[in-house]
Structure 1
Amino acid sequence: MSALSTVVVVTWRGRDHITACLDALSAQKSPHRTIIVDNASDDGTAELISAHIGEHEVVRLPRNRGYAGGLAAVLDRVETPYVAWLNDDAVPDPSWLTELENALEADPGAAAATSSILLTDGSTQSVGVALTADGHGKDVVLAGREVFGFCGGAALLRTAELRSAGGVPASYFCYYEDTDTAWRLRLAGHRVVSVGPARVRHRHGASTRPGSAQFHRWNERNRLLMLWRCAPLSVAVRELVRFLVITALLPVRKDVPKAANFRIGLRLRVFGEVLLRMPVTVVQRLMIGTRSTVARRTVWRAWAGS
């Protein structure tokens, strides 16, 4: 039986958890191709991957390109109808891939299927992604058939539709590459479904540090870039202005949250990076528009704040 899917696992310094992920992929009921993208790990990860028993291909990048960059680096190598994104700290059930494949086979209008991602204590991290009224991506934890977007930690996409929608935004490094991609798929007229029985266990934050300054930098920057690429122009402008107003008022506020994304230095860095990328982002926005079959405002009205 030929494989329907290629599973792409991006790793960076994954020595402490990559083996469990690869063991779980070896136990999958569906035949598949596995590509491991090693983001220049320097902690012994490469040796673990080489020694692991199982069929997989390894692509070692000369520098760390992040999750988004790693996915983008091997998209041209995918020859199967479906491509799965899987975090290196995720451990899928044996039927995980089969459930996702069955969902897409049964629903031609869906271009992506997202998993039930459980934390190590058994609680639900995500069954999909919602779009907030101010343009943030937010994990959905109540199961449902259709969601705005997929969580990139464990999802299956139609390869042709992903390429047609512009692929993976490699420059994001990590975070919001999944919501951006889901948004572009919706603009192209496709849907995203949540598949409850497709379960994975996730060691959340094993490779990155949620709450760190770097984490907030990527989140704040990539959300604004995503809005300029995908959202109605009025929303993109509004949220950039709002970001600047909040930043300007921080010195006179008495109740400033302690989170790193409320540090003036970090916010100024985010704004500078957005400004430097704006010319390219505007061109990307125009290209996304030419590929779209659904108006940006239609998608926004249907999903923002829902």
Structure 2
Amino acid sequence: MVVTWRGRAHLTACLDAVAALDRPHRTLVVDNASDDGSAELLARHPSKPEVLRLPRNLGYAGGMAAALRRVATPFVAWLNDDAVPDTGWLAALEDALDADPGAWAAASAMRTPDGELQSAGVRLTSDGHGTDISPAEGAAEVFGFCGGAALLRTAELRAAGGVPERFFCYYEDTDTAWRLRLGGGRVVFAPGAGVVHLHGASTRPGSSRFHRWNERNRLLMLLRCAPARVAAAELARFAALTSVLPLRRLRGAPVPPVNFRLRLRLRVLAEVLAMTPAALRARRPTALDRTAVWSHWSGR
């Protein structure tokens, strides 16, 4: 599944690479109501991908959730529209899952255009952030995967609750990895599954929207997945840091970075509080203990 929004500038490279994959596959592109000519590009592309055009932009998470309803294959791939997979990308991911029935998702080796390894999977920090694993930290098993390029078992993904569509974008991948693990599955890293990723072509890293979604969705993910004490502590810490920002301003402190600006953090808190009932309803009985998963993976 490829999700795009105003991706005309890089969509052709993605589709050309997908068409050249050396394993049989079905290509489903979700067009998030693009208005930049992406629809016409998709209609003309020689690979003739199946297109699901949404009436409005639902973000990466919403687009993936909409596409998942149309998937009937045992595996489902997640791929950003600014990612260009190697010819053997899908084969490496499929082989990794075929070799390990207990693995429910496989992470790709994501590189920058200049060849630097950008992500070898995702780790869980001690305060509940999901962050890309560097080459030095690479391991056969990882906590999670970067949603820009990964392969998941379809039935297990659905059983875990699917894609958190209300996240819009960011942390839908780490949240999904959490739920797969709580269901008893594992995530592996497939080093042969190479992808070149532009990173941030659709949403600008460092922007207010980027930080809003990142901060909000991390807290929602913890409310949905983590031990209650961890989720409560991180929410309280976020609120406490927010409450002292006006005092810092009165004392003439330097202008803080975007993610420490009062208006943005108040909006994050308001959205988290509004979405908390649904997040708590998503906390379903699990095969593995939340605390055990947190203790094993946080800070690694």
What 5-or-longer segments of structure 1 have no aligned partner? 1-7
Q: For residues 37-74 of structure 1, give each alpha carbon's deviation from its aligned partner in whole angstroms, at most 9, with x where no partner exists.
A: 00000000111111000142000000000000000001
The verdict on how the C-alpha distance between 1:60 and 1:144 changes in structure 2, with shifts beyond 3 A counting, is: same
Structure 2 unaligned regions, length at least 5? none
SS of the residue aligned with 1:269?
A: helix
Asked whether the 8 Å contact 2:42–2:48 carries over to 1, the reply is no
Select the residue among 271, 274, 278 that pairs with 2:272. Answer: 274
Residue number in structure 2 paired with 1:214 = 209
Name the TM-score, length of structure 1 as normaliser: 0.95
Match of 2:87 in 1: 94
Aligned to 1:299: 293
Are 1:83 and 2:76 counterparts? Answer: yes
TM-score norm. by structure 2 comes to 0.97
1:64-100 CA distances to partner (integer Å, 9 max, x unpaired)? 0000000000112111100000000000000000000
TM-fit CA distance, 1:257: 6.5
Aligned length: 295
2:117 to 98, 105, 124: 124
Is this contact kept in 2: 1:256–1:262, CA < 8 A? no
Q: Where do 1:230-269 residues align within 5 Å?
A: 230-253=225-248, 258-269=256-267
The residue aligned with 2:16 is: 23
Aligned positions of 1:94-173 closer than 5 A: 94-142=87-135, 143-173=138-168
Greater alpha carbon shift after TM alignment, 249-258 vs 296-305: 249-258
Compute the displacement of 1:256 (Å): 5.6
Q: Tell me, yes or no, if the aligned pair for 1:130 and 1:138 is still in contact at 8 Å.
A: yes
Q: In the alignment, which of 36, 47, 62 is matched to residue 69 of structure 1?
A: 62
Contact in 2 for aligned 1:116/1:196 (Cα 8 Å): yes
1:116 and 1:135 mapped to 2: Cα distance?
A: 23
Q: Does the CA contact (< 8 Å) of 2:42 and 2:49 recur in 1?
A: no
What is the root-mean-square deviation in Å for CA atoms of aligned residues? 1.0
Give the alignment partner of residue 226 of structure 1, picking from 221, 225, 229: 221
> How far, CA to CA, are the matches of 2:35 and 2:10 in structure 1?
15
Runs in 1 of length 4+ with deviation above 4 angstroms? Answer: 254-257
* 8 A Cα contact 1:39 1:63, kept in partner: yes
